Amino acid sequence: MMKRTTALLVAAAMTTASLTGCGGNAGNGGDESTNPEVKSSGGSSSDEMVFAWWGNQTRNERTQQVIDLYMEENPGVSIDGQPSQFADYWNKLATAAAGNALPDVIQMDYKYLDQYVENGLLLDLTPYVDNGILDVSDCNQDVIDSGKVDGQFYAVCIGISSPALVYSKTVAEQAGVEIKNNMNIEEFLDTCRKIYETTGYKTNIAYTDNEPFMEYLLRAKDVTLFEDGKMGGEAADYVEYFELYETGLKEEWLIDPAVFVERTKTTELNPLVYGTSPENMSWCTFHLTNQYSVLVGSAAEGNELGMLTWPSDNVKKSNYLKPSQFLAVSKDAKNPEEAVKFVNWFNNSVECNNILLAERGIPVSKSVSEAVSEKLPEPDQEAIAFVNEIVSPNSSKVNPPADAGASGVIDLLNQLEEQVCYGQITAQEAGTRLFEEGNQMMAK
Amino acid sequence: MSARRANPHFRAELKKEGKKMNQIRRFANQKHTAGYVFTLPFIIGFFMFMVVPMGMSLYYSFCDYDILSPPVFSGLDNFRHMLTDDTFFQTLKVTFFFAFVSVPLKLLFALLVALLLLKNTRLSGFYRAAYYLPSIIGGSVAVSVLWKRMFSSDGVINSLLQMVGINCTVSWLGNTETAIWVLILLVVWQFGSSMLIFLSALKQVPASLYEAAKVDGAGPIYRFFKITLPLLTPTIFFNLVMQMISGFLAFTQCYIITEGRPLNSTLLYTVYMYQQSFEFYNTGYGAALAWVMLAIIGLITLVLFATKKFWVYEGGF
């Protein structure tokens, strides 16, 4: 009898233990926002904020340092930094949104901004600008406006970048081709041909990073890729992009798409900087300026890199300054004012940006950008000069953020591009299918 | 206190309470109570993390749901959409091929290795552990990444082939014909757990049967097909059912190594389900796909059980 009672007690203890274990997790889940009592006893102290971002090793380390600095300067505030990889980040964020458990401070991408605002997941920051907690007076108004949706201010841009065709100066010199900014498509194709003939190096046209370049080409024709819940222009407009691949495939200077199946998609394994022979390397890559220093860092010795504008038949119309990243405050934030204060500090503090070192793009605040730029390593300074001197005077306003449904279309674009590269369909078919099926997806 | 005790009313109450305590004690001392309490953590966990999510997923499968905005009931739309979704049929094709090729191969390997390891030598314990190892680590991300490197065109496999004089520069992963085989090979390599089950079954075959057969002049091959194999059929059946189910649910290998490329030739069903749910934000459709998969696996298991009476020996030794 005694034994049985003991067993029972043990079991009861185990049950409680395991359930409190679960309870900690469940506290972050569904009921939190509807039940204020649960909220305050959610395991962590009420001042604890969560800041989530996507990034790479360098960014994660620097951001954590910045968080530590902020907590030191503001005793009583505690911030939990949660980094992820880009693709996983959005899966995680969407799931958190479904459970009403969004992080307080969210790193936002331009492409996703509309979706999150439409579903009422972000806090309107306009009142905080009005009462002075959030100071954006030192920033370019156009850039600040890119964080607005329907006239309300939801996200603070924390870095500017622009498209950049990063290329190997070494290979170009070997081939003896003249490389210049603002190439048109024909000049670009000629360069690809000549480099392949003389050096054997192949070309990677934005494979798997295709949507920005497609958008870039369409902009030259005054067509907006994603526009009011549909795809802009007509089917014929979309063929040009695929034709580049078709041409490259026929003339053999296009890099074998198999290369991309074999490699994990990281900057360090980009065919521009990684490969065993010219056969599986590319002389250029379609990137953004803020990735330039990582590429330079990954390039083998003796492979000198440079930056050019992406080719287009009308670079002025095509090119743009991209607000590369934003900070937003979620509507679930427990203490919105504290969260906004942190965002403000992130944006305006020289001390903070001296640690971040423009890794997310050029700081938006002018005084911060000036103070930081001297401290940057050379590739980053080069990138800043490129954005300010080459792109800025010869560009147009960035496209509005994409609607929901765009991610399905981008997947379709990936598939069609792959089929063109494997010789399954023609560029004509690919362009038509992208436009028609894409529009069906958007209409849903 | 004593005044209250003197109160007959209070006494009655006390008695009642005492009765209650007795009831509780009796309940606690019943044989099955401790059992229930011990299983309570599992039961509660099972409801919270299995039954409730399954119910939600069933509901979502009838909804237009994009995770970000609340689900809207849409009836059978998701299921109807499947009929016009080419990728859905493509993934079914790939998954069936994958499961029906990898599972028999895996069982064959497991059986062969189990037969080899049956002999008791000094190192057999070590070999058993060594061959079981892939089953533990094989499903991990690290091994998938390694596998991807091994089969790239400048990877170990091609280098080894070149060493033995075959000038091979095939891109195993970049080719629609070969990519799926890389995944199949990885799964077949994880034959350890089936192997252990075979091993223990093999040991249970009574030696007297073999001795009798030997006396009657049966050779080793004849003995294997007439004694070992028939007596193993229940184990084969068990392994087949279990591996078939896990074959249809394979995810990591495809997700890490190929992501379905090239040309969706390696896109497994579960990965497509994941993409729809969390990458394209068609979570309702993803949930519907999950329930169709459940039906398919259920059906296949049912068919396997129906064939049982034709080939599984269930008599004694």
- Residue A111's CATH number: 3.40.190.10
Tell me whether residue B68 is in a domain. no
The answer to whether residues B200 and B239 belong to one domain is yes
Q: What percent of chain A has pLDDT over 70?
A: 89
**Cα gap A78→B60, rounded to integer Å:** 37
Tell whether A443 lies on the interface with B, counting CB pairs under 8 A. no
Can you tell me the distance from the alpha carbon of A387 to that of A369, in angstroms, rounded to the nearest whole number?
13
Task: Evaluate if residue A261 carries a pLDDT over 90.
Answer: no
Domain that holds residue B175: 77-311
Does the structure show a pLDDT above 90 at A26? no
Q: Is the pLDDT of residue A303 over 50?
A: yes
Residues B254 and B102: their CA atoms lie apart, in Å, by 14
Task: Give the span between the Cα atoms of A326 and A139, in whole angstroms.
Answer: 14
Strands (DSSP E) found in chain B? 63-64, 72-73
Give me chain A's average pLDDT, please: 82
Name the residue range of residue A85's domain.
46-161+323-385
Tens-digit pLDDT profile for residues B249-272: 988 888 888 888 888 889 999 999
Which pLDDT belongs to residue B54? 93
Place of tokens 């309470």: B17
> Looking at residue A272, what is its pLDDT?
85
Q: Is residue B69 part of a domain?
A: no
A121 vs B68, B145, B151: nearest CB: B68
- Does A301 share its domain with A246? yes
Same-domain check for residues A307 and A198: yes
| B184 and B291 belong to one structural domain | yes
Angle of helix B124-137 versus helix B141-150 axis, rounded to 10? 90
The answer to whether the beta carbons of residues A181 and A306 sit under 8 Å apart is no
On whether both A112 and A204 belong to a single domain, the answer is: no
Is the alpha carbon torsion for B235, B236, B241, B242 positive or negative? positive
On whether both A232 and A358 belong to a single domain, the answer is no
> Does A31 reside within a domain?
no
Count of domains in chain A?
2
User: Could you give phi then psi for residue A49, rounded to 5 degrees?
Assistant: -110, 150
Q: What is the pLDDT of residue B2?
A: 54
Task: With H, G, I as helix, E, B as strand and everything else as coil, classify residue A285.
Answer: strand
- CA–CA gap between residue B201 and residue B16 (Å, rounded): 59
What percent of chain B has a predicted confidence (pLDDT) above 90?
A: 32
Band of pLDDT at residue B317, cut at 50, 70 and 90: low
Q: Are residues B134 and B236 in the same domain?
A: yes
In this structure, are residues B273 and B286 in contact, taking their beta carbons and an 8 Å threshold?
A: yes
Residue B110 domain-assigned (yes or no) = yes
Q: H/E element holding A153?
A: strand A152-153
- Same domain? For B48 and B85 the reply is no
Helix (H) or strand (E) holding A327: strand A322-329
pLDDT (0 to 100) of residue A3? 58
Nearest by CB to A262, which of B34, B48, B148? B148
| Chain A residues within an 8 Å CB radius of B175 | 258
Give how far Cα A44 sits from Cα of A29, A92, A334, Å.
14, 20, 12
Do both A413 and A284 map to the same domain?
A: yes
Inter-residue contact A386 to A153 (CB < 8 Å): no
Q: What is the mean pLDDT of chain B?
A: 86
Instruction: Name the token pair of B110.
Output: 């497991």
Q: Please state whether beta strands A163-168 and A284-288 pair in parallel, antiparallel, or not at all (unpaired).
A: antiparallel
Segment holding A49, helix H or strand E: strand A48-54
For residue A170, give the amino acid letter: T
Q: Which two tokens stand for residue B188?
A: 């077949």
Overall average pLDDT of the A43-69 stretch: 81
The one-character DSSP state at A280 is G
Sign, Cα dihedral of A418, A421, A423, A425: positive
Domain assignment present for B316: no
| Chain-centroid distance, C-alpha A409 | 17
Nearest to B173 among A5, A262, A419 (CB): A262
- Regarding predicted confidence, which is higher, A430 or A276? A430
To the nearest whole angstrom, how far is the Cα of B174 from the nearest Cα of chain A? 4
> Residue B258: which of B171, B135, B154, B158 has the closest Cα?
B171
Whether A93 maps to a domain, the answer reads: yes
Q: Per-residue pLDDT for B3 more than 70? A: no
Selection from B193, B174, B59 nearest residue B113 by Cα: B193
Mean local confidence (pLDDT), B23-31: 77
Do A64 and A180 share a domain, yes or no? no
pLDDT above 80 for B4: no
Residue B182, CB half-sphere, CA atoms under 13 Å: how many?
Answer: 36
Between CA B133 and CA B189 the distance in angstroms is 10
Per-residue pLDDT band for A28 (boundaries 50, 70, 90) equals very low
> Taking 70 as the threshold, does the pLDDT of residue A32 lie above it?
no
Closest CA to A122 of A135, A141, A139, A103: A103
Query: Tens of pLDDT along A187-196?
Result: 888 888 888 8
Asked whether residue B66 is domain-assigned, the answer is no
Q: Which residue of A has its CA nearest to B144?
A: A264
Lowest-pLDDT range of A394-408, B103-117, B281-295: A394-408
CA distance B210 to B299: 38
Sequence-ordered list of residues with C-beta below 8 angstroms from that of A381, at least 6 positions apart, any chain: A373
Neighbours of B92 (CB within 10 A): 16
* A219 in any annotated domain: yes
Of B15-24, B99-108, B110-119, give the range with the top mean pLDDT: B99-108
Same domain, B109 and B155: yes
Lowest-pLDDT range of A311-325, B13-27, B205-219:
B13-27
> Taking an 8 Å Cβ-Cβ cutoff, which residues of chain B contact chain A?
28-29, 33-34, 37-38, 40-41, 44-45, 48, 66-69, 145, 148, 151-155, 171, 173-176, 179, 258, 261-264, 275, 278-282
Nearest to B37 among A15, A98, A424 (CB): A15
Q: Judge if A308 and A171 occupy the same domain.
A: yes
In a domain, B14, yes or no: yes
Q: What is the predicted pLDDT for the residue at A14?
A: 56
The answer on pLDDT for B211 being more than 90 is no
Amino acid at A79: I
Could you give the number of structural domains in chain B? 2
The token pair at A188 is: 């670009």
Q: Is the pLDDT of residue A33 over 70?
A: no
pLDDT at residue A44, rounded to an integer:
43
Q: What is the CATH number of the domain that holds B306?
A: 1.10.3720.10
Rounded to an integer, the average pLDDT of A97-121 is 88
Q: Is A119 in Cβ contact with B281 (below 8 Å)?
A: no
Tell me: the pLDDT tens digits for A368-385? Answer: 888 888 888 888 888 888
CB B315 within 8 Å of CB B309: no
Residue from A112, A261, A403 to probe the interface with B (highest B Cβ count within 10 Å): A261
Q: Tell me: do B111 and B151 sit in the same domain.
A: yes
Q: What is the mean pLDDT of residues A12-25?
A: 50
A119/B153 CB distance under 8 A: no
- Asked, for residue A277, whether it belongs to a domain, the answer is yes
**Final residue of a structural domain among A355, A385, A415:** A385
Residue A328 near residue A115, CB atoms below 8 Å = no
Lowest-confidence segment of A345-354, B166-175, B266-275, B292-301 by average pLDDT: B166-175
Whether pLDDT at B291 is above 90: yes
- Clarify whether residues B26 and B174 are in a common domain: no
- Do the Cβ atoms of A26 and B145 come within 8 Å? no
Pairing mode, strands A152-153 and A148-149: antiparallel
What is the per-residue pLDDT across A339-364, written as a single tens digit (0 to 9) for each? 999 999 988 888 888 888 888 888 88
Q: Is residue B67 part of a domain?
A: no
Q: Which amino acid is at B184?
A: I
Cα end-to-end span (Å), chain B: 75
Ramachandran class of A423: left when φ > 0, alpha when ψ lies in -120 to 50, beta otherwise: left
Mark whether B34 and B146 lie in a shared domain.
Answer: no
| Together in a domain, A145 and A194 | no
> DSSP letters along B164-229, please?
TT------TTTSTTTHHHHHHHHHHH--HHHHHHHHHHHHHS-HHHHHHHHHTT--HHHHIIIIIH
Q: What is the mean pLDDT of residues A3-27?
A: 52
Residue A288: count of CB within 10 angstroms of its CB: 18
One domain, residues B144 and B25? no
Q: Look at residue A30 and tell me whether its pLDDT is greater than 50.
A: no
Q: Do A4 and B153 touch (CB under 8 A)?
A: no
Separation of alpha carbons B26 and B37, rounded Å: 15
Let me know: does A147 contact A154? Beta carbons within 8 Å. Answer: yes
Closest residue to A11, CB basis, from B37, B154, B174: B37
Residue A180 covered by a domain: yes
Residue A387's φ and ψ, nearest 5 degrees, are -65, -45
How many CB pairs (< 8 A) connect A and B?
106
Least Cα separation, residue A332 to chain B (angstroms): 14
The answer to whether the CB atoms of B38 and A26 lie below 8 A apart is no
B284-288: average pLDDT = 93
Sorting pLDDT into bands at 50, 70 and 90, what band is A22?
very low
Substitution target from B25, B29, B37 for chain A, most A beta carbons within 10 A: B37
Cross-chain residue pair A415–B264, CB shorter than 8 Å: yes
Domain co-membership, B7 together with B96: no
Rounded to whole angstroms, what are the CA distances from A18 to A110, B7, B28?
Answer: 42, 45, 21
A155: helix, strand or coil: strand
Phi/psi for A177 (5° steps) reads: -95, 150
Mutation site for A-interface testing, chosen from B36, B68, B74, B258 by largest number of A Cβ within 10 Å: B68
Do residues A367 and A380 both lie within one domain? yes
In the structure encoding, which two tokens stand for residue B317, read together?
A: 């030794």
∠ CA A92-A94-A95, nearest 5°, is: 65
Q: Is the domain of A154 the same as that of A283?
A: no
Task: Give the distance from residue B189's alpha carbon to the nearest chain A alpha carbon, in angstroms.
Answer: 20
pLDDT of res. A64? 93
User: CB neighbours (10 Å) of residue B233?
Assistant: 16
What value does the mean pLDDT take over residues B176-201? 89
Nearest CA to A293 out of A204, A181, A377 is that of A377
Residues A49-55, mean pLDDT to the nearest whole number? 91
Are residues A425 and A381 part of one domain? no
What pLDDT sits at residue B92?
Answer: 93
Q: What is the pLDDT of residues B35-53, one digit of tens each?
A: 888 899 999 999 999 999 9
DSSP-assigned letters across all residues of A217-231: HHHHTT--SEETTEE
Q: What share of chain B is helix, strand, coil (3-state, %, to 5)?
A: 75, 0, 25
- At A37 the pLDDT is 36
| pLDDT interval class at B301 (50, 70, 90) | very high
Is pTM beyond 0.95 here? no
Task: Let me know whether A199 and A103 are in one domain.
Answer: no
Q: Is residue B317 part of a domain?
A: no
> Of all residues in chain A, what percent carry a pLDDT higher than 90?
11
Could you tell me the two tokens for A44?
Answer: 């962590």
The answer to whether position A39 is within a domain reads: no
Question: What would the mean pLDDT of A200-224 be, rounded to a whole number?
Answer: 87
DSSP for A338-388 reads: HHHHHHHHHHH-HHHHHHHTTTTSB-SBHHHHHHHHTTS-HHHHHHHHIII
pLDDT confidence bin for A35, thresholds 50/70/90:
very low
User: How many beta carbons lie within 10 A of that of residue A197, not counting itself?
Assistant: 12
